[in-house]
Each structure stands twice: as C-alpha cells, then as structure tokens.
Amino acid sequence: MNERSEQLFKKLMHAPDHYFQISELSQEFQVSERTIRNDLEEIQTFLSEKDLPFLRTKRGRGVQLLLGKKERVRAIAYLHHIRKGHYLSPQERFLQLIIRFSCRQSPIFLYQLEQELMISKSTLDADMRKLRLFLQKYGIEVKSHQKKGIYLEGNEKKIRAMIRAVILIHVPSLEFLEVKRKKSLSAQEQLVVDYLGQERIEFINRHSYREWLGKADGQGPIYAKHIVLILLIWLRRLEPVSGKEVSIYADRRAVKEEQTNFLILLCQFFKRRISVAEVTYITQLIESLHPQKVIDTADWTKAQLVAIQLIEQVEKRLKICFYERQTELHKGLVRHISGLFKRVKNQVQIANPLTSMIEAEYHEIFQAVYSFNPVFNRFAGAFLTRDEIGFLTIYFSTALSQIKQAQKVGYRAIVICHHGTTTGKLLAENLKELFPVEILAILSSKERSLIEKLDIDVVFSTIDLRIKGVPCLRLSPILTVDDKYMIAHFFTKKRPKNRLVRRESEDTMLLKETINALEQNGSVISSEGYQAVLEVFEKHHLKLDKKEIQPMLEDLLIDDHIIFRESCDSWQEAIQAAAEPLLIDQVVESSYVRAMVDSVKEYGAYIVIGPHLALAHARPEDGVKRLGISVLVLSQGIEFGHEEHDPVRLVFCLAAVDAHAHLNVMKALIQLIHDREKIQRLSKATNQQQFKRILYKK
C-alpha cells in the first residue's frame, strides 16, 4: 500500500460514522477520481488479505469503513509491518516529472510513470498538461517517441536554465547542497539529491572551493551554493543520450588554466565528455555570479546608465536625496547590476532567502525599485525578479541608514554575518542608525579569530557565538522588533565607554554648502575658481572626500574639445575624430582610441545610448591619464549599426579615470538623451559658444 493509500485508509478508519464522496476525496488529495478509486481497490485488497471488514458503499452517499476497536488495533499493527511506498504531492510529482525527463538515461514511457508515481492515467494527463504549459516560456517541448520514450526538446542552455529554475522554486534554500546537513532532507530535497547525486555534491564542495567557491565567499553562502548547483546541473546534463553529443553555443574566450584543470578533473572523475565550448559555457555562467570581477565594456556602460537612472527613480518616488552617499551607492549598484546583466544573459536566477523580510521592513524602497522594472527591461530584455529587487533594496537601505546617522556616543562593536558582506553592511548601518554604537568591522563567521585582536564591547552576530569576555547578541540579518527590544534592554544594563563615533565628510559638506551659497548669490563658479576653493580648504587642513567632489560636465568640456565636421566616412573615423582633442592635450593615449574602436567591433553599437547620440569610451586601464571629455558634431550623421538611434550626429568621447569620478557627467548625458529637441538643436550648432549655450540651458 502506498503512502497516499495509507493516508486515505487512516482517514476512513478514524471516521466510521461518516460517508466520504469520491469527488470530496479527489479534491482533498489533489488526484483524479480514478486514482481515488484505484486506491480504494488497493485498500479493499488489504482488508481482504488481513481478514478485516470490507469498505461499504452507498449510492448517493459515498464510501465508509466501519471497524471495531480490536479491528482498528489490528489494522494499525499491520500497517506498521508494511514497507511503505512514497506518496508524492502534486508539487512533488511535477518535480519528479522534470527530473525523470531530464535524466538522459534509459527511455521512460507514460505507462511506466503511472506505475512509478502510483497515479491514474487521467491524473498523469493533467500533470503533463501543466508541465507543457510551464515549459512553453523556455521554448521547450515534451516529445514522445516509440523507442526513445518521453524526452525534452529545445535549446540545451534553456533546458539547463529551466532545471535550475524548477529546483529553486521547490527548494529555494539549497540547504541540501551542504555536505554536513543540519536536518534530514524533505521529500523534494531528496528527489533533487537523487537526481544530482550525493557523490557529485560532496566532490564539488570539496574540490571547487579554491577555484570558484572561495571567490563567492565575499558575496555570502547564497552565491557559493548557486555555483555548486550550476556545476551539478552542468555535469548531469553532460551525459550523452543515444550517442548524440550535447550541443552548446557559447562565445569562445580565454579561460584560466586552474579553472580548466578543475573542470577536466571533474569530468574525468565522473566519466563525462567535455569540449572547449563546454568549458567556455560553464566558466561564463559561473563568473556571472561574481559582480566584483572585471566586466566587459558594454556591460560596464549599461550598468552605469542603469544605476544612475535607478537612483533618480528611487529619489523621485521616496522624495529623498542620496547625494551625500551617491558615490558609494552608485559603486555598489554598478557592481551588482553588471553581474545581473550577465545572469540575465545566461538565464541564471539567484534565490534571496531574505526577500520577504526585506520587502516587509523596507516596503517603500522595495516598491520604488520595483517601479524601475520598465526601464531595466529596455536595457536587459528582462524584468527584475523579486529576489533581485530585494538585493538592490539593500543598497538603498544601507545608504539611507548612513545618511540618517548623526554624531553619537556609545559602544564599539563588530558585526558577524553569514549572509554576505552586503547584508552585513546593511545590518551594521541599521545598528548605527538606531543605537549609540560604532561598528569597527563586518566579518564572516570564518574570521571570528580576529575578534580577540579588537577593542570592542559587544558582538552582533547572525549565528550563535560564544566568545570569552565579550557579550554576543544573536540577531536576524534584517532587524526585527524583538531584536531591537533585546539590544535596547542590553544597553540599559551595560554602561558604554563613552567613545565618540566619528562623523563622516563634515568638511566635504562644508565645501558643498560654500559653493552652493556663492552660486545662490549670483556668483558663477568656473573650473578655475572651483579649484581655487579646493586649494584654500586643503591649505587649512580640512579633509575632503574626493569621491564626493565630482566635476560637472561644464567643468570638463572646454572650447577646444568641441569640434565640428561636415561628415565622416565611417564610425571608426568618427570615434577617432572625437578623441583627437583628448590625444592632443594628453588626456588619453593612442591605445585608448584603439580600445574604443575594438569595443564597438566586439560588442556592437552599444555606445549609441540615445537618439543620434553616441558615447565613445573604453576602460580606464586602456590608456586614460586624467578625466576628460570631448564631442564631435556632425552635419551629416554616421551609421553605427544601431536599429533605433542611427544616424549619429553627436559623438561624445569620455575618458574616465575610474567608474565613479565622472558620475555627474553621466547624469548630464542621461538627461540629454531624454531631450530629443535639445539633441536636434545641438547637431545644428556651428560654433563652440552656440553649442555650450544650448547644452547648458536648463
């Protein structure tokens, strides 16, 4: 008797005075009426074999099981001696079907599935309809063949992405991927472990840590577990079916030797075929989970444009200005969004276990980020998931907490967070905002040995810790009401050491307010005047945060860097002409111009960022000496190959020393690309002064 039949039997046995309708039982167990009748037949056989009273049926009323007290005791005893089958819920059946069709082993047929899942044909037909509907969005079809049985047909990359998505839907925590598990596996986790292979899980955890998982530590165990999952699915799908090789389409590029060696070791150990294309595919996929890694120029540009517009959107929705923390906020967002672009490209989804808590605690910020979805879709061709919105919300919540902080007197503390540095930073900022505390460091659980070297009063940790001589308070990664009460209660009992928490960027704010006051009283601050004010501040030993003092477009775009031409023979010539003033003034080297041209050849017309407007640029390390910008105005537009925004009449050339010093310049260009009328007028300008009047007119 299978588990569902046993549950049905117990339900009938414990309600002897009740008649159950077949339709009622079908709805409760979420199977067809035919399956329920099959289970009742199995129960009837069991009753007959054990010499127990049969089921009773009455037309119009249903089925009943009437057992005496002694007969019930006998029946329960018999059940304990029966080897149980495993009854699968509808959700578990769905997962099982995906796994069976993805195994690439011996053929599987529908009649076998009926027996394996212990369901009727009509229930299986209903499950298959749901499965086909789900697979449609991945462009995958369920095919049936007389000899091959049931199999999946579609792009292999999409099949792998689908398997990841299904696993994340059913077991999002991915705790089953841990070698030392803290609890027994659920039915769905066991299905996934059986599919992926316990031996493979242990091997990858043991051998891939140095090559890839170690790099993910800074992002927290969430990323490390996703890397393990990606490797396991990749390895599982490498199995050939009917002698046919797996077909993967991925761009070839250089792969680090140690990573290639590990992949070869993995495939040799488990006897799988591997190709150069497969090495490239899996390496690119995993590196999409490392936003701190160097990214390609196209993604670097898009990430900056998206980050700036996202900040503006959140500021507009919340009526809050992030100016004081804009550099740090922009830097974090660019790093995360660049990785997000790669994940979208490779169809990788990251589960965020804190999403619900983040949405509840920071609902307004969460909704503001959600409202940015249409803009993100234009850049990425996909919408932000709730989990990704949760990650982005953390950056804004952290910045907001930093802005709200004032000078306080209080404790020295450290934060230990096992959810990654970004979440740990948010926790630290919330603690500083709410309580008189200075956070000296944010550590992972592996760095607890450093605690003894620090002069601290308390440890805030998201895991249980015991440290001699230092009180440890366990908190949720997102502070709850209970957490806040516990901390407040702790502070009432332990006296602080009256250490001052430093105030950040006071001198920088003084500089900004001084410049604003001069401008509000009619003064026009030139770039030379601005530099003179800076020198006065530094002469009097005032400390300035150079990241927060960023030049405006009008500070950088000088007359000699605005050039006019009737036409260019090619987009390559247009980029070279736009960069010529920067070369003459030694702002960039000739290698930078070559890098700009090569980037367009490799990634396409990504530098065309608006109607008739291109922003030519490369990476700072390609030959930038100092920050600068120039622009080429073309009477006759040039084709870059952009479907929507060609022909290009304005070619800006940006030389950036890092990813953030030119933030105000980028903001000005984003405003420009949304003003088609101004672009048209600029393209008709004939001299520098006319161009600047049009460009800077509000």
DSSP notation for 326-337: HHHHHHHHHHHH
**Average pLDDT of the segment spanning 619-644:** 88
Distance CA 455, CA 414 (A): 10
Amino acid at site 106: S
* Residue 543 backbone phi and psi in degrees, to 5: -85, 125
Q: Give φ, ψ of 309 to 5 degrees.
A: -70, -35
Same domain, 319 and 236: no
Return d(Cα 283, Cα 230) in angstroms, integer: 10
Q: For position 304, what pLDDT does the model report?
A: 84
- Please count the other Cβ atoms lying within 10 Å of the Cβ belonging to residue 469: 6
Q: Is 139 left (phi over 0), alpha (psi -120 to 50) or beta?
A: left
CA distance 422 to 399: 12
User: Using alpha carbons only, what angle is made at residue 247 by residues 242 and 253, rounded to the nearest 5 degrees?
Assistant: 145
H helices of 453-497, where? Answer: 481-493
Do both 46 and 97 map to the same domain?
A: no
d(CA 96, CA 190): 11
Same-domain status, 33 and 63: yes
pLDDT for the residue numbered 644: 86
Residue 345 lies in a domain: yes
Residue ending a domain, choose from 45, 65, 84: 84
Contact 266, 235 (CB under 8 A): yes
In angstroms, the CA 290 to CA 552 distance is 32
Instruction: Please spell the DSSP secondary structure of 517-562, one letter per residue.
Output: HHHHTT----HHHHHHHHHHHHHTT----GGG----HHHH--GGGE
Structure tokens at 225: 């577990």
**Inter-residue contact 630 to 561 (CB < 8 Å):** yes
Question: Mean pLDDT throughout 385-399?
Answer: 89
Q: Which residue matches tokens 């039982």?
A: 25
Domain that holds residue 644: 553-696
CB 542 within 8 A of CB 510: yes
Choosing from 170, 226, 419, 617, the catalytic residue is: 617
Do residue 427 and residue 305 come from a single domain?
no
Residue 409: CB atoms within 10 Å: 13
- Alpha helix positions (H), 86-177: 90-101, 110-117, 121-136, 156-170
Stated as kind and residue range, the H or E segment containing 193 is: helix 187-196
Give me the pLDDT at residue 78, please.
67
Contacts for 28 with CB less than 8 Å, ≥ 6 apart: none
Could you give phi then psi for residue 151, rounded to 5 degrees? -150, 165
Amino acid at 488: A
**Helix, strand, coil distribution of the chain in percent, nearest 5:** 55, 10, 30
Q: What is the pLDDT of residue 371?
A: 94
Minimum mean pLDDT among 334-343, 357-366, 549-558, 599-608: which range? 549-558
Question: Is pLDDT at 254 greater than 50 in this prediction?
Answer: no
**pLDDT recorded at residue 564:** 94
- Given 407, 434, 463, the domain boundary residue is 407
Mean pLDDT computed over 625-637: 90
The answer to whether residues 15 and 112 belong to one domain is no
Cα-Cα-Cα-Cα torsion 222, 225, 369, 382, nearest 10 degrees, comes to 170
pLDDT grade for 643, boundaries at 50, 70 and 90: confident
With respect to residue 330, please indicate whether it lies within any of the assigned structural domains: yes
Residues 6+ apart with CB under 8 A from 200: 232, 235, 236, 270
pTM, whole model, 2 decimals?
Answer: 0.59
In a domain, 687, yes or no: yes
Give the strand pairing for 409-416 and 499-500. Answer: antiparallel
> Which has the closest alpha carbon to 619: 303, 285, 284?
303
Q: Is residue 250 part of a domain?
A: no
Same domain, 174 and 46: no
Neighbours of 308 (CB within 10 A): 21
236 vs 101: CA distance, rounded Å:
12
CA distance 97 to 93: 6
How do strand 608-610 and strand 562-565 relate by DSSP bridges? unpaired
Specify the pairing of strand 141-145 against strand 62-64. unpaired
The per-residue pLDDT for range 444-464, each reduced to its tens digit, is: 777 777 777 777 888 999 988
Q: Is residue 248 part of a domain?
A: no
Residue 278 neighbours by CB under 8 Å, 6+ apart:
234, 238, 246, 248, 263
Most confident of the following: 71-75, 278-282, 367-371, 671-675 = 367-371
CA distances from 88 to 7, 17, 82, 173, 232 (A): 12, 29, 18, 21, 24
What pLDDT was estimated at residue 253? 43
Beta bridge partners of residue 562, listed in sequence order: 631
Summarised one tens digit per residue, pLDDT across range 469-498 is 888 999 988 888 888 888 888 877 766 544
Is 617 labeled as catalytic in the residue annotation?
yes
Question: Is residue 247 a part of any domain in this protein?
Answer: no
Q: Is the pLDDT of residue 219 over 80?
A: no
Q: Pick from 349, 231, 232: which is nearest to 282 by CA?
A: 231
Domains held by the chain: number: 6
> What amino acid is encoded at 300 in this protein?
W
In angstroms and rounded to an integer, the radius of gyration of the C-alpha atoms of the chain is: 32
Please report the beta strands in 338-481, taking only residues with DSSP state E, as ranges in sequence order.
409-416, 437-443, 458-461, 472-474
Least confident of 172-186, 247-261, 654-668: 247-261
Give me the pLDDT at residue 284, please.
Answer: 75
Q: What is the pLDDT of residue 140?
A: 92
Give the sign of the dihedral formed by CA 586, CA 590, CA 595, CA 596: positive
| Amino acid 250: pLDDT | 38
Pairing relation of β-strands 628-638 and 562-565?
parallel
Answer yes or no: is 359 within a domain.
yes
Confidence of residue 169 (pLDDT cuts 50, 70, 90): confident
3-17, 121-135, 675-689: least confident range: 3-17
At residue 239, the 3 state secondary structure works out as coil
Same domain, yes or no, for 62 and 96?
no
State the average pLDDT for the chain. Answer: 79
Q: In the structure, what pLDDT confidence band is assigned to residue 632 with cuts at 50, 70 and 90?
A: very high
Assigned domain for 78 exists: yes
Residue 52 three-state SS: coil
Residues 322 and 426 in one domain: no
For the stretch 167-191, what's the b/e string if a residue is b when 16 or more beta carbons lie within 10 angstroms of its beta carbon?
Answer: bbebbeebbbbeeeeeeeeebbbeb
Same domain, 271 and 387: no
> Which pLDDT band holds residue 501 (cuts at 50, 70, 90)?
very low
C-beta of residue 644 within 8 angstroms of C-beta of residue 651: no
Are β-strands 562-565 and 499-500 bridged in parallel, bridged antiparallel, or unpaired? unpaired
Q: Do 107 and 228 belong to one domain?
A: yes
Q: Which residue has the higher pLDDT, 345 or 564?
A: 564
Task: Answer yes or no: do 630 and 576 share one domain.
Answer: yes
Q: Please give the Cα distance from 97 to 654 (Å, whole number).
A: 53
Note the pLDDT of residue 115.
Answer: 76
Q: Is the pLDDT of residue 502 over 50?
A: no
Q: Are residues 611 and 579 in the same domain?
A: yes
pLDDT surpasses 50 at 218? no
